[in-house]
Amino acid sequence: MEKVNHEIPPIYDENSKILILGSFPSVKSRENQFFYHHPQNRFWKVMASIFNEDIPATIEDKKSLLIINKVALWDVIKSCEIEGSSDSSIRNVVPNDINLILEKSNIQQIFCNGNKSYSLYKKYLEKDTGIKSISLPSTSPANARFNLDMLVHEWRVILDFI
């Protein structure tokens, strides 16, 4: 177990209408200082499909895809002890202050990418924000139960809030 700090800043602007929260960045994401950087994570493919866009290749393209479509992105955890990228190993959580985003944007709904993010949000942030989140199936490669088409189908619900 190692104590790790989240160093990737949130993506949002004043027009963001939904906030998608992950749990904590994977090892690959931490190494590359950007969200969902593991090539097998399907997050960017899902976002591109939902918004009828090409799959973004660069970090700037990924940021642009989110901002243009009024999506804010961050993680629940600011720091924790974690083994590799394993959500199940997370201990000693310090949550992020998502009020930074809520105060400067127009967030209508919060979505959680996977069950771990959802349970962490409910435990650490929901009482403070007063916003109930919606849990979506994880885009992680560890979620083998959902193929890409199934994920896109489930994630389309975000369009109802944009």
Q: Is the pTM of this model over 0.85?
A: yes
Q: Specify the CATH class of 2-161 in words.
A: alpha beta
Report in angstroms the alpha-carbon separations of 116 from 12, 19, 45, 149: 22, 16, 21, 22
Task: For residue 113, indicate whether it is catalytic.
Answer: no
Q: Where are the beta strands (DSSP E) in 15-102?
A: 18-22, 71-75, 77-82, 91-95
Choose, from 5, 41, 52, 147, the residue flagged as catalytic.
Answer: 41
How far is residue 10's CA from residue 99's CA, in Å, rounded to a whole number? 12
Q: What is the pLDDT of residues 90-142, one digit of tens each?
A: 789 899 999 999 999 999 999 999 999 999 999 999 999 999 999 999 999 88
Which amino acid belongs to residue 11? I
Domain residue ranges in the chain = 2-161
Nearest to 21 by CA among 65, 77, 80: 77
What pLDDT is recorded for position 127?
Answer: 94
